[in-house]
Amino acid sequence: MEDIISILITTIRVSTPLILACLAGLYSERAGIVDIGLEGKLLGSAFGAAVVASVTGNVWLGLLAGIGVSMMFSAVHGLASINFRGNQIISGVALNFLASGLTVFLGAAWFGRGGNTPPLTGDARFYGIRLPFAQEVSGVPIIGPIYSGLLSGHTILTYLAFLAVPLTAWVLWRTRFGLRLRAVGENPKALDTAGMSVSWLRYKALMITAVLVGMGGAYLSTAQAASFSREMSSGRGYIALAALIFAKWKPYPALGACLLFGFLEAMQYRLQGVDLPLIGRVPTQAMQALPYVLTILLLAGFVGRAIAPKAAGQPYVKER
């Protein structure tokens, strides 16, 4: 039971940035903007959050800084994709390269640690929150370990990530704004004919994307870890995109896909150096490759046909 709870706890913790990035991509792609730049936004916001939290000693200012960096990246992506009608894939890839190089350069210039930031302590990082009565019920069989061990003790960003899933489902399928957002990703011309601004709706989607992915990046450097390290996003932005495609651009399946990737990453930590029956000791590198192998398998078409929003990736030209 302890081993199972331990693996599930790790699954939740490593899935948190994936869930936030996946939901971020859901908003942008439902609005017709392909956001390959999620990886760069995760990395940039993780760096911004760690830098500001380290300098000020306040993790909340670090979180705002992480969201701010993500906002700037989204603004550049929006300017290139919406205003200048550029190729959205190229714009996103350029942001990824920019974040990869800029975080190392600035980190080395400011802190002299090879691109890393100083360790975060005290109020400069997020800590787990103990839920009510977690200590009292910890000794109760089954219920105790699940409530006090599995559900309690996570950071506020983890709880917000899981709350964002039903909130996203409600916004996209139960509100007027969500209807318009999905419409702009399917048939922007019809929305324009009705007198609504396609560009402004897409910018709104990118702003929501920036907030979510900024929280995910801040989680990496101020909650999951206690500092920023170079390339610490480790392809999570790409995995989030794979999870989004696997989930067919729907929030609850996206949660399941992110938890699946998180479970594989948790198993990777758990099984390193362990002798398995009939297999023996699995090489560490093989376990580390598991999430990426699953990404390739999913994108290769093992999940059936995933139909993206019809206007995704297509710049809209307003007729005169």
Whole-number average pLDDT of the chain = 90
| Residue found under tokens 């696997």 | 246
Domain spans of the chain? 2-126+137-299
> pTM (2 decimals)?
0.94
Summarize pLDDT for 268-286 with one digit per residue, the tens. 877 766 666 666 676 777 7
Q: Smallest Cα–Cα separation from 44: which of 74, 88, 15?
A: 74
Which CATH code fits 2-126+137-299? 1.10.3470
For the segment 209-245, what is each residue's pLDDT rounded down to a tens digit? Answer: 999 999 999 999 999 999 999 999 989 999 999 899 8
Distances (CA, A) of 167 to 125, 170, 173, 175: 26, 5, 10, 11
> Cβ(29)–Cβ(228) under 8 Å?
no
Percent of the chain scoring above 90 in pLDDT: 67
Residue 154 CA to its chain's centroid (Å): 17
